Structure 1
Amino acid sequence: MSVDSSKQPADALPERSPLIRLDRVTKRFGENTVLDHLDFSVDAGRHVTLIGPSGSGKTTILRLLMTLTKPDEGTITVGGEQLFPASEKRRREVRKKIGMVFQQFNLFPNMTVLRNVTEAPVTVLGLSRDEAEARARELLDMVGLADKCDARPSRLSGGQQQRVAIARALAMRPQVLLLDEVTSALDPELVAGVLDVLRDIARSTDITMLCVTHEMNFARDISDQVLMFDSGRIIESGTPEKIFADPEHERTREFLGAVL
């Protein structure tokens, strides 16, 4: 990941090509249409936050990109390669470009912190154990846990476990980092530490970030673009300054009035 020490607002950034693209994607669960012929793209290096009420389709987009579920219609491409429709083998290859941090930490309880971070790079990417451990130690230092390499997850606080999960996702050297309500399972006093780590990643790397969150101040801080979802559709998009200070859509105003 390269360092960009002079991050600019979205309207000042140079033109970039879409890294993620969804074309007319529809997803249904029974009779409930969660995404309705959605056209959606994220340019390389951008930080995009999805906001909106629960059930509006935000997390479903992340689950589609992680291949945890499949679209009923439409196409999804990542880095110019088709994720859906595609063979299972092709999906696994494309999925290597994507890392995700979930609401729950999902760490392996029988492994040390260091092993949690190194396991996938060794088994999936084929890195040597030494190379994976060097990368893991660097990342654990970045998230403030250099002294916890030999600890088990059960000995860590929730905030520390989530920071390990962030390091684990970055250890795969993804082009895209997906963040799904990463602070929702944390006690309030632990939220700030995790968000500070993510702010540092957003400001100091060129990784593309797609974030679902109800932490509006965090969304305002890290986003190049904010998208407001309602009933499986994007009803408004713009810079954080525009969306939070002067939203155009009544539904956006209602939602922000309830959560701010």
Structure 2
Amino acid sequence: MTNDTSRANGAELVRFDKVTKRFGEVTVLDELDFSVATNKHVTLIGPSGSGKTTILRLLMTLLKPDEGTITVDGDLLTHEEKNGKLVRAGERHTREVRKKIGMVFQQFNLFPNMKVQRNVMEAPVHVLGLDKDEAAQRAKDLIELVGLTEHLDKYPSQLSGGQQQRVAIARALAMRPQVLLLDEVTSALDPELVAGVLDVLSDIAHSTDITMICVTHEMSFARDISDRVLMFDKGKIVESGSPEKIFSDPEHDRTREFLSTVL
């Protein structure tokens, strides 16, 4: 699976410039400078409350930054230029840029009244304006990719949690995003279902060119799929490096302390 609009491998796809996000008196992200290159897989690790999921929610425009700018494939996400000045973006501008981003949440959020195939094809038809026959074929291909072809005509309530999460992954990919965001996608699953979902994501990471930003506490998965791992604490990047470096020879005391609790 390739993305026709994606830039050359190694080009910057996502960029945070001095992004600050506060909730009341609490600063969750503190002048964050952060970038992800096209076709790369970046995993964010760190304790709860360190700002990792906030990054994903800002990219999905579920939150807006208090300061700083976010750029996706060269386009400002929550700002735009008007008369030479940077102003808050209108909904139309934001919606267009957001089409480049897909997200898989902790909860599956499937439409309970729609069968698996329709769950996957609904957004491409209504958001992208894709022809229904083309959307149906795209859905079938992606449902096969996540190993659920035999469940095409079932409702979400007839599937296990792990199967529902795989449908959610197919649904996110159906929009052909340039970057896929993964937010603790196995945290709501029973332990015996986790491996199946991680195997699907690992296959996608290794067999497609999609860019990934992943928040997870599954460190073996992070080691397997990541080109780069970032350790967060108190809204800042404490340490950044290859998975081999971060997991085997971290430099920062805070990284070593955190990994000792999760490995």
Q: Show CA shifts across 1:126-177 (max 9, x none).
A: 0011000000000000101011111000000000000000000000000000
* Residue 222 of structure 1: aligned partner: 225
Q: Distance in 2 between matches of 1:93 and 1:166?
A: 21
Query: Which of 24, 42, 47 does residue 48 from structure 1 map onto?
Result: 42
**Residues 46-195 of structure 1: pairs in structure 2 closer than 5 A:** 46-85=40-79, 86-195=89-198
Q: Distance in 1 between matches of 2:252 and 2:109?
A: 37
SS of 1:256's equivalent?
helix
* Residue 205 of structure 2: aligned partner: 202
Q: Distance in 2 between matches of 1:150 and 1:198?
A: 23
Q: Show CA shifts across 1:180-203 (max 9, x none).
A: 000000000000000000000000
Aligned residues: 250
| TM, length-normalised to structure 1 | 0.95
Deviation at 1:17, TM superposition (A): 1.5
SS of 1:164's equivalent?
helix
**What amino acid maps onto 1:79 in structure 2?**
D
Q: Distance in 1 between matches of 2:99 and 2:22?
A: 26
**What amino acid maps onto 1:115 in structure 2?**
R
SS of 1:25's equivalent?
strand
* Residue 28 of structure 1: aligned partner: 22
Residues 19 and 67, structure 2, Cα contact 8 Å, conserved in 1: yes
Query: Which of 225, 229, 234 does residue 231 from structure 1 map onto?
Result: 234
| TM, length-normalised to structure 2 | 0.94
Unaligned runs of 5+ in 2: 80-88
- Aligned-pair RMSD on alpha carbons? 1.1
Q: Residues 116, 189 of structure 1: CA spacing in aligned structure 2 closer, same or farther, 3 A cutoff?
A: same
Deviation at 1:2, TM superposition (A): 3.2
Deviation at 1:15, TM superposition (A): 7.0
Runs of 4+ in structure 1 off by over 4 angstroms are: none
Q: Distance in 1 between matches of 2:227 and 2:173?
A: 20
SS of 2:240's equivalent?
strand
**What amino acid maps onto 1:2 in structure 2?**
T
Q: Show CA shifts across 1:50-94 (max 9, x none).
A: 000000000000000000010000000000000022221110000
Unaligned runs of 5+ in 1: 4-13
Residues 9 and 38, structure 2, Cα contact 8 Å, conserved in 1: no
SS of 1:169's equivalent?
helix
**What amino acid maps onto 2:2 in structure 1?**
S
Q: Show CA shifts across 1:79-118 (max 9, x none).
A: 0000022221110000000000000000000110011000
**What amino acid maps onto 1:259 in structure 2?**
V
SS of 1:174's equivalent?
coil
Residues 28 and 234, structure 2, Cα contact 8 Å, conserved in 1: yes
* Residue 39 of structure 1: aligned partner: 33
Q: Percent identity?
A: 76
**What amino acid maps onto 1:136 in structure 2?**
A
Q: Distance in 2 between matches of 1:151 and 1:2?
A: 28
SS of 1:257's equivalent?
helix
Q: Distance in 1 between matches of 2:123 and 2:64?
A: 23
Q: Distance in 2 between matches of 1:202 and 1:246?
A: 24
Q: Distance in 2 between matches of 1:92 and 1:2?
A: 22
* Residue 2 of structure 1: aligned partner: 2
SS of 1:173's equivalent?
coil
Q: Show CA shifts across 1:194-219 (max 9, x none).
A: 00000000000110000000000000
